[in-house]
Structure 1
Amino acid sequence: MAEQDPETTEETGAPLEWPLDWHEGDMPYSRAFDDHFYCRSDGRLECGHVFLAGNDLPARWQRPGPFRIGELGFGTGLNLCETWRQWRITAPEGARLHFTSFERFPMARADIARALSRWPEIARERAALVERWPDAPAGRVEIALDEHVRLTVVCGAALDGLAREAEAFDAWYLDGFAPSRNPDMWSAALMAEVFRLAVPGGRFATYAAAGFVRRNLAAAGFAVERRPGFAGKREMLCGARPAA
């Protein structure tokens, strides 16, 4: 989600919630960024194509845990739910998954439930997430989704949140709003923090293919690869931190 500040009330300076529209029934759309929260054709399949395949998953988590995934932009929780679904099917016995997402403006429980209701494939994961989601998420939200899967959502500006992290991640999902609409979420400073928090040999993936995003990732130290994008999109980016 977003890195810039929302509008504030004149009386208190308190931030207003980001205004949402709903397209095609249950597809959330941010008026502030003039952008949908996920691909209009099928966000769940896009997650598999971009974030899981781009990070060579589930093959890379075929080892004893924990396996750590970092994400920029929790949004509706769709990436978490689809990743968890595939983890349940393919992860080795006893492995553990820790999914950590950085989100400045977490959605309300009812909005998450509505946004994810379009996919019966993740009904089990959606129900578990919605049941445990706090009424007023703030700070560092820690949720045990089951005995092997843990979710952390760090609420606040992504750059601040990453700067306070010490433990590196095996895979990164870079899923902010489109770079043309929210360039701060793809800045050189933020990509440098993502690189710092990637294990040697760790990977990233993103639907974005903008030139400045590719350059910022390469300048941070990643070996960047272009792959065909989802649903006819020409390109996406993925890559790795060198192993040595």
Structure 2
Amino acid sequence: MQDQHAELEWRDSGVPVSTRFDDPYFSLDNGLAETRHVFLDGNDLPARFRDGFHIAELGFGTGLNFLTAWAAWRDAGVAGRFHFTSFEAYPMDTDAMARALAAFPEVAGLAAPFLAAGGGSARFEDAELTVIQGDAREALPGWQGRADAWFLDGFSPAKNPELWGADLMAKVAAHTVPAGTAATYTAAGFVRRGLEDAGFTVTRAPGFGRKRHMTRAVLG
């Protein structure tokens, strides 16, 4: 597969925007607060954390979601290690990651070792990160893992529909433990239907910032 990387431009606010999908990597309001609201609260975290807890993600981007989850893990004081697997078709280079993450001093202490390790797959004392490069539609079926919680964080379904299709949602379900969860910032109807058809019980919840609604899902 040809190596492909993120194509970026930067807003005055310091938010990176994908020129390929014409969509920002995180909320223009506050990316860290968005991650906490959508992906942590949306998956009932950190209350569910336990040794070996596995988060999987569609769309690694800047790594902010991983760092936010890692910070929550440490704050929760859970013994052991958690696992985080992310699928990313267009990885961002470490210089761009560092520029984007500089906006969030709350995670600076974790961003430093993450960036020093190359901004990708790495093993830390209490966290194991695996970033799988490639189209998730091709990479996810062959993945051997199953997640306790999913962060569905691709670019907008209107601009990147390939990462939200019913076939891919079925693969997400197949790689989720019984009663596992998923959360996403979008409440697009076809995404919700795809999750429901895959076996998730789907609910709509208040969104973050300018988004009125988001989606939460529980398998089974």
TM class by shorter-chain length? over 0.9
Question: Does 2:37 correspond to 1:52?
Answer: no
Question: Does 2:139 correspond to 1:167?
Answer: no
Question: Does 2:49 correspond to 1:71?
Answer: no
Q: Which has the larger radius of gyration?
A: 1
Residues 196 and 128 of structure 1, relative CA distance in 2, 3 Å threshold: same
1:193-208 mapped onto 2 (5 Å cutoff): 193-208=171-186
Q: Which runs of 4+ in 1 moved over 6 A?
A: none
Following the alignment from structure 1 to structure 2, what is the Cα–Cα distance between the partners of residues 16 and 192?
26
| 1:153-189 Cα distance to aligned partner (Å, 9 max, x none) | 0001101211111221100000000000000000111
Following the alignment from structure 2 to structure 1, what is the Cα–Cα distance between the partners of residues 5 and 36?
30
Query: What does residue 86 of structure 1 align with?
Result: 72
1:114-153 mapped onto 2 (5 Å cutoff): 114-133=99-118, 142-144=121-123, 146-153=124-131
Query: What does residue 29 of structure 1 align with?
Result: 17
| 1:6-62 Cα distance to aligned partner (Å, 9 max, x none) | xxxxxxxx666443111125210111111100010001000000000000000011x
Residues 87 and 34 of structure 1, relative CA distance in 2, 3 Å threshold: same
Query: What does residue 162 of structure 2 align with?
Result: 184
Query: What does residue 203 of structure 2 align with?
Result: 225
Give 1:142 deviation, angstroms. Answer: 3.1
Following the alignment from structure 2 to structure 1, what is the Cα–Cα distance between the partners of residues 7 and 37?
29
Following the alignment from structure 2 to structure 1, what is the Cα–Cα distance between the partners of residues 38 and 67?
15
Q: Contact (CA 8 Å) 2:60, 2:88: kept in 1 or not?
A: yes
Following the alignment from structure 1 to structure 2, what is the Cα–Cα distance between the partners of residues 225 and 57?
17
Letter in 2 for 1:66: G
Following the alignment from structure 2 to structure 1, what is the Cα–Cα distance between the partners of residues 197 and 138?
20
Question: Does 2:79 correspond to 1:101?
Answer: no
Question: Can you give the 5+ residue segments of structure 2 that lack an aligned partner in the other structure?
Answer: none
Q: Contact (CA 8 Å) 1:99, 1:151: kept in 2 or not?
A: yes
CA RMSD of aligned residues (A): 1.5
Following the alignment from structure 2 to structure 1, what is the Cα–Cα distance between the partners of residues 182 and 77?
20
**Identical positions, percent:** 45
Bigger Cα displacement from structure 2, 230-239 vs 46-55: 230-239
Letter in 2 for 1:142: S
Q: TM-score, normalised by structure 2?
A: 0.96
Letter in 2 for 1:106: P
Residues 34 and 170 of structure 1, relative CA distance in 2, 3 Å threshold: same
Give 1:210 deviation, angstroms. Answer: 0.5
Q: TM-score, normalised by structure 1?
A: 0.87
Following the alignment from structure 1 to structure 2, what is the Cα–Cα distance between the partners of residues 114 and 232?
24
Letter in 2 for 1:83: A
Question: Can you give the 5+ residue segments of structure 1 that lack an aligned partner in the other structure?
Answer: 6-13, 135-140
Query: What does residue 137 of structure 1 align with?
Result: none
Q: Contact (CA 8 Å) 1:58, 1:91: kept in 2 or not?
A: no
